[in-house]
């Protein structure tokens, strides 16, 4: 359990990282301690791994969120929907990634044609989704993909493959754009205050640290 700052008040929130296997993509489980409602961000592990994490914490899933549409961040998005009944949300610019194995990079990396069901919710910049007493704000940060997003929950920022500890996501895959990435990084750097950063790969960090040491920010 960690404490997030929501409207200048400390709120007890469960944040758990569930590591995937081969590609090391971080799956994040964020739950409101008071209500046990949660969101799962980037369901990359196998469904039995996610189920054990949900059962161990006694939470229910209200939304499944994708930071972007690459296959290594949504391996279990269909089976998790079947298990929980929760809708899947992705930025509308990455909606086609679910149904196109080239756009989701599965064909590029694995030479397969892995696709998924369309998302139930298409997100836009500035949208908010509520679970328990918490809310998720959508920040559209294209560059890694057209529809890459960061999700802000209080003073936590889930950055997917946009911002890493000391680095940023690549821009040479379908939908990538280095100029869009520069603009997105500038937007993140301009956020008021410090934020806990939970990345799509690698370790946690803070926005203050990245402003000081990340050469891309």
3-state class (DSSP) for residue 201? strand
CB atoms within 10 A of CB 92: 14
Residues 169, 58: Cα–Cα separation, whole Å: 33
What's the chain's length in residues? Answer: 217
Q: Please answer whether residues 124 and 92 qualify as being in contact, where contact means their C-beta atoms are separated by less than 8 angstroms.
A: yes
If you ran DSSP here, which 8-state letter would residue 54 be given? Answer: H
Ramachandran region, residue 146 (left: φ > 0; alpha: ψ -120 to 50; beta: rest): alpha
pTM as predicted: 0.95
Domain 2-213, what architecture? Answer: 4-Layer Sandwich (3.60)
Sheet of 134-140: strand order equals 128-131, 134-140, 149-153, 156-160, 196-199, 205-206
| Contacts of residue 65, Cβ cutoff 8 Å, sequence gap at least 6 | 39, 40, 41, 42, 88, 89, 90, 129, 136, 151
**Helix%, strand%, coil% for the chain, nearest 5:** 25, 35, 40
pLDDT per residue of the chain (217 residues) written in tens, 0 to 9: 455 555 545 566 788 999 777 789 999 999 998 899 999 999 999 999 999 999 999 999 999 999 999 999 999 999 999 999 999 999 999 999 999 999 999 999 999 999 999 999 999 999 999 999 999 999 999 999 999 999 999 899 999 999 999 999 999 999 999 999 999 999 999 999 999 999 999 999 999 999 999 999 9
Residue ranges per structural domain of the chain: 2-213
């Amino acid at each position: 359990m960690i404490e997030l700052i929501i409207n200048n008040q400390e709120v007890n929130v469960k944040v758990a990282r569930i590591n995937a296997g081969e590609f090391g993509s971080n799956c994040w489980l964020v739950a409101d301690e008071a209500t046990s409602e949660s969101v799962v961000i980037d369901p990359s592990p196998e469904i039995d791994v996610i189920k054990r994490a949900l059962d161990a914490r006694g939470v229910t899933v209200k939304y499944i969120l994708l930071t972007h549409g690459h296959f290594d961040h949504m391996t279990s998005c269909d089976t998790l929907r079947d298990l929980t009944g929760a809708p899947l949300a992705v930025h509308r610019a990455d909606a086609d990634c679910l149904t196109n194995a080239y756009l989701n990079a599965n064909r590029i990396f694995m030479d397969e044609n892995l696709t998924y069901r369309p998302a139930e919710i298409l997100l836009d910049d500035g949208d908010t989704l509520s679970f328990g007493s918490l809310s998720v704000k959508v920040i559209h940060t294209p560059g890694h993909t057209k529809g890459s997003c960061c999700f802000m929950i209080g003073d936590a920022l889930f950055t997917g493959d946009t911002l890493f500890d000391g680095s940023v996501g690549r821009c040479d895959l379908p939908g990538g754009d280095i100029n869009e990435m520069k603009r997105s990084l500038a937007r993140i750097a301009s956020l008021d205050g410090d934020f806990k950063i939970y990345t799509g790969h690698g370790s946690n960090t803070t926005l203050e640290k990245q402003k000081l040491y990340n050469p891309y920010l």
